[in-house]
C-alpha cells in the first residue's frame, strides 16, 4: 500500500545492491528517498536538502557511518540516524548511541524491522 508521506530518507551504502533494495522498500512504503554511495556524497545531500532520517552503512571507504553520524548531528541535530552493519561491532554500537544514533541494526535484517524503526522515527518526529 502506497501513501503519501512527507518524511525524506537518505540511504547511504557503498554496496549498490543494498542501496537499491532499501530504496525500493522505502519508496514502496511511500517515503521520499535519496541515495548516496559514500559518506561524502551523503553529507552533501544532507547539507543541501531537508532530510529527516539517514540510514547508513557503518563500514564504507573514505568516511565511516560513525563519522557521517557525527558530522550530520553537528550540522543538523534533529536528523535521526540508523546505522546498519554486517559486523557485530559492540564498541561502535555504544559510541554510535552516545553520538546520537537512533539505532544500530545488524545485517542481515528483516525488512519489517527496518520499516518499523523508520515508522517509529516518523511517529516521534510528527509528535514534536
| Residue 52: CATH number of its domain | 3.40.50.2300
Dihedral sign (CA 53, 82, 38, 111): negative
What gap in Å lies between CA 59 and CA 75, rounded to an integer?
21
Average pLDDT, integer, range 37-51: 95
Q: How many domains are there within the chain? A: 1
Give the three cell numbers for residue 36. Answer: 548516496
- What are 108-119's pLDDT values in tens digits? 889 999 999 999
- What pTM value is reported for the model? 0.92
Residue 59 lies inside a defined structural domain of this protein: yes
- What are 84-125's pLDDT values in tens digits? 988 766 778 888 889 999 998 888 889 999 999 999 999 988
Determine which of 11-15, 46-50, 86-90 has the lowest per-residue pLDDT on average: 86-90
**84 lies in which domain range?**
8-127
Residue 1 lies inside a defined structural domain of this protein: no
Residue 18 lies inside a defined structural domain of this protein: yes
Amino acid at each position: 500500500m502506497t501513501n503519501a508521506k512527507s518524511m525524506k530518507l537518505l540511504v547511504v551504502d557503498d554496496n549498490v545492491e543494498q542501496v537499491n533494495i532499501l530504496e525500493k522498500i522505502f519508496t514502496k512504503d511511500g517515503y521520499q528517498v535519496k541515495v548516496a554511495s559514500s559518506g561524502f556524497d551523503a553529507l552533501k545531500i544532507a547539507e543541501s536538502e531537508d532530510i529527516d532520517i539517514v540510514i547508513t552503512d557503518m563500514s564504507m571507504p573514505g568516511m565511516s557511518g560513525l563519522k557521517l553520524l557525527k558530522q550530520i548531528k553537528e550540522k543538523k541535530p534533529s536528523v535521526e540516524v540508523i546505522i546498519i552493519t554486517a559486523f557485530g561491532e559492540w564498541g561502535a554500537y555504544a559510541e554510535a548511541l552516545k553520538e546520537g544514533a537512533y539505532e544500530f541494526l545488524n545485517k542481515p535484517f528483516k525488512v519489517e524491522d527496518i520499516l518499523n524503526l523508520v515508522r517509529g522515527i516518523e511517529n516521534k518526529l510528527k509528535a514534536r
